[in-house]
């Protein structure tokens, strides 16, 4: 007999340690509706205050994973690998990483999400591509992963449904930032995809959800410990998000940026460092390379040979996109009607920027959602973003605004110009890979 929900809540409220059966019974009630909205909210708040041990969080993650269907890749010929990012501005790494890893011989069945707050969503970016189906039938998803090696799609209704209900209630009860609940939310969906290995990109800085190094490490450690405790080989890299990662922010613009990267045009950038670091980490986790140096060499070969671009093209076409998309992206990606430069307001060096506010500027242009039912304008965003440390002269463009009309472009231009600090001295460079958690 399942424990009463109120007894589970009371025990956690009082700082007690829940047994796996208690957690499993409560999550079953969340899924079938027998646990009320008020009880779910009380459980979330009790967890926010009292926290959870590693074993409790493993049990919560597994219960949420098992609340719906799980993908089974047994008998599959490739290692099953994936990556997850906690989100940032100009972070389009998944778009390039999945085909690179596929070209190296692993399989990447990537279940991605939409934009959240100031951060862009992988699914929103892919929907810039005409015809791209983010929710294909399960049998087609599996077939594409088998044939291409990767497929990036959205969460289905039957994948970790308990998380959907719990997250919606956390969102309106000020409990989103509970580390155990964040951990279980992220990992339940990833584990439901049947992964054998996972690498996590935990962002730190003024463009991330976490700005305190200590809190960021706590979350990264929780994610790694719980995923490994649930049987999935997992590591994490903490990466810098004190400036946009790519030189674009906005949906179609980031897809264009992805193609430029796969053509080899972004070598040596901060974006390139992150993509290669995660490619190497994923290949080691999947036991396809002995160490990260070997993994990076494999990833470079996949990129330089054109194999990664070919995988991306095949993935797009098999999921409903144009067959000639990578050859003629300009024929398929919509362009913004108004494109204007953001001029530097003085001579000097780009010393810092308010990265989160740059993400909010993209949303103000229509490139993200203020409300869940808002329609996204895939054309808009920021391009040509110069990296921090660049020497500029007054009037020189530090970015370009892509907008639906001239008036909107000018308003956002002035807003973006004010988000940068230009100093007399070149700022000290920061490593893009802050630390590794194992």
Residue 366: CATH number of its domain: 3.90.1170.30
- The answer to whether residue 63 sits within a structural domain is no
Highest mean pLDDT among 101-115, 153-167, 321-335, 361-375: 321-335
Looking at 12, 24, 78, 84, which residue is catalytic? 84
CATH of the domain at 17: 1.20.970.10
Helix (H) or strand (E) holding 201: strand 197-204
87 & 9 share domain: no
List pLDDT tens digits, range 40-55. Answer: 999 999 999 999 999 9
Residue 82 annotated among the catalytic residues of the structure: yes
Among 318, 345, 360, give the residue marking a domain's end: 318
Residue 370 pLDDT > 90:
no
Residue 203 annotated among the catalytic residues of the structure: no
Looking at 31, 47, 67, 122, which residue is catalytic? 122
345 & 244 share domain: no
Residue 371 pLDDT > 90:
no
144 & 213 share domain: yes
The pLDDT of residue 121 is 86
- Residue 342 tokens read as 């953001």
- The answer to whether residue 58 sits within a structural domain is no
What gap in Å lies between CA 355 and CA 298, rounded to an integer? 32
15 & 107 share domain: no
What gap in Å lies between CA 143 and CA 121, rounded to an integer? 24
Residue 347 annotated among the catalytic residues of the structure: no
351 & 407 share domain: yes
Residue 128 annotated among the catalytic residues of the structure: no
Exposure of 327 by Cβ count < 10 A (0-12 exposed, 13-18 middle, 19+ buried)? exposed
- The answer to whether residue 176 sits within a structural domain is yes
Residue 67 annotated among the catalytic residues of the structure: no
119 & 244 share domain: yes
112 & 221 share domain: yes
- The answer to whether residue 160 sits within a structural domain is yes
- Residue 145 tokens read as 């992963």
Following DSSP, what letter does each residue of 129-146 receive, concatenated?
STT--SS--HHHHHHHHH
Rounded mean pLDDT, 392-399: 98
The pLDDT of residue 368 is 86
107 & 244 share domain: yes
139 & 17 share domain: no
Residue 189 annotated among the catalytic residues of the structure: yes
Residue 383's alpha-carbon distances to 246, 266, 398, 413, in angstroms, are 9, 14, 9, 12
237 & 93 share domain: yes
Residue 117 pLDDT > 80:
no
Q: Judge whether 341 and 400 are in contact, CB under 8 Å.
A: yes
The pLDDT of residue 116 is 63
Residue 372 pLDDT > 80:
no
- Kindly indicate the confidence band of residue 156, based on its pLDDT and cuts at 50, 70 and 90: confident
- Kindly indicate the confidence band of residue 168, based on its pLDDT and cuts at 50, 70 and 90: confident
Q: Could you list the residue range(s) of the whole structural domain that residue 406 is in? A: 335-423
Residue 197 annotated among the catalytic residues of the structure: no
Among 318, 350, 382, give the residue marking a domain's end: 318
- Residue 21 tokens read as 């059966």
What gap in Å lies between CA 366 and CA 350, rounded to an integer? 26
Residue 88 pLDDT > 80:
yes
Number of compact structural domains in the chain: 3
- Residue 183 tokens read as 């951990």
Following DSSP, what letter does each residue of 282-317 receive, concatenated?
HHHHTTSSSSHHHHHHHHHHHHHTTHHHHHHHHHHH
Q: What is the pTM of this model?
A: 0.93
- The answer to whether residue 221 sits within a structural domain is yes
Helix axes 213-229, 54-65, angle to 10 degrees: 60
Residues 6+ apart with CB under 8 A from 87: 116, 117, 119, 120, 203, 208, 209
Exposure of 139 by Cβ count < 10 A (0-12 exposed, 13-18 middle, 19+ buried)? exposed
Helix (H) or strand (E) holding 237: strand 233-240
Residue 414 annotated among the catalytic residues of the structure: no
Rounded mean pLDDT, 155-167: 88
- The answer to whether residue 437 sits within a structural domain is no
List pLDDT tens digits, range 330-361. Answer: 999 999 999 999 999 999 999 999 999 999 99
10 & 91 share domain: no
- The answer to whether residue 112 sits within a structural domain is yes
Looking at 12, 78, 114, 170, which residue is catalytic? 170
What percentage of the chain has pLDDT greater than the value 90? 88
The pLDDT of residue 176 is 81
- Residue 259 is given by DSSP the state H
- The answer to whether residue 121 sits within a structural domain is yes
Residue 369 annotated among the catalytic residues of the structure: no
Among 318, 353, 384, give the residue marking a domain's end: 318
346 & 310 share domain: no
Classify 90 as helix, strand or coil. Answer: coil
Residue 171 pLDDT > 80:
no
What percentage of the chain has pLDDT greater than the value 70? 98
Looking at 114, 118, 164, 189, which residue is catalytic? 189
Residue 233 pLDDT > 80:
yes
Helices marked H in 172-289: 179-192, 213-229, 251-262, 270-285
């Amino acid at each position: 007999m399942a424990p009463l929900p109120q007894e589970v809540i009371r025990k956690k409220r009082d700082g007690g340690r829940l047994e796996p059966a208690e957690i499993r019974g409560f999550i079953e009630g969340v899924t079938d509706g027998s646990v009320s909205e008020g009880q779910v909210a009380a459980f979330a708040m009790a967890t926010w205050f009292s926290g959870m041990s590693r074993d409790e969080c493993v049990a919560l993650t597994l219960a949420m994973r098992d609340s719906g269907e799980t993908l089974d890749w047994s008998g599959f010929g490739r290692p099953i690998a994936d990556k997850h990012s906690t989100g940032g501005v100009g972070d389009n790494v998944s778009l390039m990483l999945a085909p690179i890893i596929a070209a190296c011989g692993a399989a990447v069945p990537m279940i991605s999400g939409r934009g959240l707050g100031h951060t862009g969503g992988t699914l929103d970016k892919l929907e810039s591509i005409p015809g791209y189906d983010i929710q294909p039938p399960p049998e087609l998803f599996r077939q594409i992963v088998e044939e291409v090696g990767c497929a990036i799609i959205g969460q289905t209704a039957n994948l970790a449904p308990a998380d959907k209900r719990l997250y919606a209630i956390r969102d309106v009860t000020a409990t989103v930032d509970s580390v155990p609940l964040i951990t279980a939310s992220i990992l339940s969906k990833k584990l439901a995809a049947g992964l054998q290995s996972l690498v996590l990109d935990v962002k730190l800085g003024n463009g991330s959800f976490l700005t305190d190094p200590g809190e960021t490490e706590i979350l990264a450690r929780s994610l790694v410990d719980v995923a490994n405790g649930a049987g999935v080989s997992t590591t994490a890299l903490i990466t810098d998000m004190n400036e946009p990662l790519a030189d674009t922010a906005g949906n179609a613009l980031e897809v264009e940026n992805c193609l430029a990267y796969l053509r080899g045009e972004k070598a040596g950038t901060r974006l390139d460092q992150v993509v290669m670091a995660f490619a190497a980490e994923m290949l080691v986790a999947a036991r396809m390379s002995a160490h990260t140096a070997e993994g990076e060499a494999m990833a470079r070969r996949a990129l330089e040979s054109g194999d990664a671009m070919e995988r991306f093209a095949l993935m797009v076409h098999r999921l409903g996109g144009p067959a000639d998309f990578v050859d003629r992206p300009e024929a398929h990606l919509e362009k913004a009607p108004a494109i204007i430069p953001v001029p530097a307001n003085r001579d000097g060096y780009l010393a810092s920027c308010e990265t989160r506010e740059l993400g909010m500027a993209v949303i103000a242009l229509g490139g993200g959602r203020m409300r869940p039912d808002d329609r996204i304008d895939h054309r808009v965003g920021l391009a040509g973003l110069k990296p921090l440390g660049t020497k500029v002269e007054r009037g020189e463009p530090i970015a370009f605004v892509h907008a639906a009309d001239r008036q909107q472009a000018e308003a956002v231009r002035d807003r973006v110009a004010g988000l940068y600090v230009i100093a007399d001295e070149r700022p000290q460079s920061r490593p893009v890979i802050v630390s590794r958690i194992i």
